[in-house]
Structure 1
């Protein structure tokens, strides 16, 4: 047995997936410590606490966590109801963290600033696996300390590291100068931020579900106040892909989001600008002006009062600089996951079952799980992270049979595409027959054959 086998496992992040990893370790009697930068567990979730998610309670609770909670008398809220982020915190994550098995093991207000191997940097190879991990943390009062661990599970997420406004992946020119009039992610438009956006000209930049939720809230606010204008700025041009699968989406609430927004665009309540890659933002007497590249050259948009940047997030890799990571070169996901989730190829939501093997790295006993394992890919669901957590915990507990026995069935989006052309013509051979409950020809054929998942790559 290595000298560090008696050390705890460090879990970075106390969101839903980090706590799922901890729950699996509790069940297996494996010592651990959780480090959370926020002031409470689920701090990232609470940042968008006003948002109702499109997975039900049944799909949003980790199985191991549920077993621990139910043993303590907890009951799952209405299984088919859709919780908000704050619901998840108050009725799930907070009660979970208060269980006896977590007592003294969750350290909130504690930011991990760096992880390395004790006494050596990433260049050194000799005896590397035998060295414990050295984790540098900063507490809320500014004090610093170093802790050691035999393994690390990085479930720190990406929420606090948003993509910039610039369509090139770098900040747009002027982005820093107008920072006070930009908001990133999903501000609470109908709640704490109502006064900021009421009656204003607002541009929303981005094409994912965060952008859709923001736009729907803004249209509701505009209807209530009978004032304000909305512009939706999208880099892509294939709106069929952006609006989603509608009735074909196996998550009904997710399917309705895009279709609702489409109706608002069609009615003129939301002005849509497609094929626009933001280059700069400037402050003029008339308002903020976005300038970007289009197929027809450079274009300046009409002035607005506020801009919401809903362009997604990316992983912060700074704390792992001294570790030997193997990442997908463009997604910054774990390398093995890259081909499964690349949005340039896949949009179906289905991902092959995977666990510790796909979330590990050349650095022994270091795993990236949760949304951070997906890097910049936008299709992560909690169900994925929970299965990752279970497999990794089993591996670290030495139960290789359980670690390798991975199962993951994700609800399809209803958009089944590989090599999806901008006009939508590349979708798996064209649209499905009208009578088929499928998103394209290949999907219809696959379902006729009794397969599950996206028909473009469905497995029996």
Structure 2
């Protein structure tokens, strides 16, 4: 790059945990960052799930460089053995970190496009000599732009949840129903308005991961509290049920997921939910009362429900990066070199090898996708691996190749495996039979014999 380009800031997109850690690491290297955050405060996405507890304890969700930056303010990390909620993480750590960064964080700045200045993705000539140009909308909706020498996209995947449709596209009728009867988030049933929305109603929960387990457990608790009001859930899985469905299996090093799985199992065993397996949603229709009827690819029609909670994963928003030359895996939408390391068919969170600038590089020089966004559609992300990503990338940007290539993250034997999930009692997550943090849960069955199936014309 030329001298004028070298004087430009490094723009970080997103003031979440990994974006703010990237800024802290850049400052540690005497490099000036500018963080563009779409929301009005730090960690806007994390705040949206403030009622959900993390799987990782405080000792694993605070970046070392960020902690050093905070230390002069008198900030003290909460007890490292305890588990923060999303609200705790945002309020007790991420916002104070953003406050220390001061005017290096620009709020209400929604990035709408990134390109090379004067070069669309087709043009080769002098491409790498041109700075990046970032278009964004400011606080009052006005379009603005800024130039940068490097772009680190830590915008996450929260804004783009996957749909209910089994094909990866929204089911027919899904978009219309989303206006009033479909949610793509775990409901906060401590909120009176949300509690009223689901109390006494029949709710379908679509998904087979920890988020779906959490929603089922919340709905079961609501049904217990409102006994006799008719609160009931139908749990819809695209696959069959096996031990691994509940967080088991040799590759799963998160017993907290096993605990969540037990909660989902208990919801069915105790009669608060039915399970429907092998169901891929093709259409969402309304009955004469306005309730929703889910129709499968095989024509199977489930009984009508009042609400649907879709928790089928998240995916990266790549639309504003269209003019950049990214090298992404065709399945996971993760960087090509990273994809085999995080493939959920092979890895759980605790078995992903630490990685950095090398694995996160693209054909477009000096642009990096980090954090959840770097994982594409894979759900195996841990904050610790994101912190290692930005440590390596900032070392590379500072010209310290040795540090960039060095692995400085050791996943602790017990730390990565621990987590509270739904549970405030640490012992609840360590009660898995077989002993040890990483012991796989025994194969679980729902009820006796085959799982219960919701009625309907199937």
Question: Structure 1-normalised TM-score?
Answer: 0.86
**Paired residue for 2:271?**
268
CA 1:412 to 1:167, structure 2 compared with 1: closer, same or farther past 3 Å?
Answer: farther
**Paired residue for 1:292?**
296
CA 1:143 to 1:434, structure 2 compared with 1: closer, same or farther past 3 Å?
Answer: closer
CA 1:248 to 1:334, structure 2 compared with 1: closer, same or farther past 3 Å?
Answer: closer
Alignment of 1:30-69 (within 5 A): 30-69=31-70
Gaps of 5+ in 2: 415-432, 441-458
1:160 Cα offset (Å):
0.6
Q: Which moved more, 1:263-272 or 1:57-66?
A: 263-272
2:237 maps to 1:234: yes
Rounded to whole Å, the distance in 2 between the matches of 1:257 and 1:345 is 21
Count, aligned residues: 418
The answer to whether the 8 Å contact 2:53/2:86 transfers is yes
Rounded to whole Å, the distance in 2 between the matches of 1:15 and 1:140 is 18
Local SS of the residue matching 2:299: strand
1:332 Cα offset (Å):
0.5
The answer to whether the 8 Å contact 2:233/2:272 transfers is yes
Q: Deviations over 1:96-136 (max 9, x none)?
A: 1111xx12110111000000000111111121111100000
CA 1:229 to 1:412, structure 2 compared with 1: closer, same or farther past 3 Å?
Answer: farther
1:407 Cα offset (Å):
3.4
1:140 Cα offset (Å):
2.2
The answer to whether the 8 Å contact 1:351/1:410 transfers is no
Alignment of 1:266-345 (within 5 A): 266-286=269-289, 287-293=291-297, 297-345=298-346
**Paired residue for 2:164?**
165
1:269 Cα offset (Å):
2.4
CA 1:142 to 1:236, structure 2 compared with 1: closer, same or farther past 3 Å?
Answer: same
The answer to whether the 8 Å contact 1:54/1:252 transfers is no
2:185 maps to 1:185: yes
**Paired residue for 2:155?**
156
**Paired residue for 2:393?**
392
Local SS of the residue matching 1:45: helix
CA 1:437 to 1:224, structure 2 compared with 1: closer, same or farther past 3 Å?
Answer: closer
1:72 Cα offset (Å):
2.3
The answer to whether the 8 Å contact 1:247/1:255 transfers is no
**Paired residue for 2:214?**
213
Rounded to whole Å, the distance in 1 between the matches of 2:274 and 2:361 is 44
Alignment of 1:43-192 (within 5 A): 43-99=44-100, 102-179=101-178, 180-191=180-191, 192=193
2:247 maps to 1:244: yes
CA 1:243 to 1:20, structure 2 compared with 1: closer, same or farther past 3 Å?
Answer: same
Rounded to whole Å, the distance in 2 between the matches of 1:364 and 1:407 is 24
1:435 Cα offset (Å):
8.7
The answer to whether the 8 Å contact 2:284/2:292 transfers is yes
Rounded to whole Å, the distance in 2 between the matches of 1:139 and 1:342 is 37
Question: Structure 2-normalised TM-score?
Answer: 0.87
Local SS of the residue matching 1:388: helix
Q: Which moved more, 1:111-120 or 1:298-307?
A: 298-307
Rounded to whole Å, the distance in 2 between the matches of 1:61 and 1:132 is 32
The answer to whether the 8 Å contact 1:35/1:112 transfers is yes
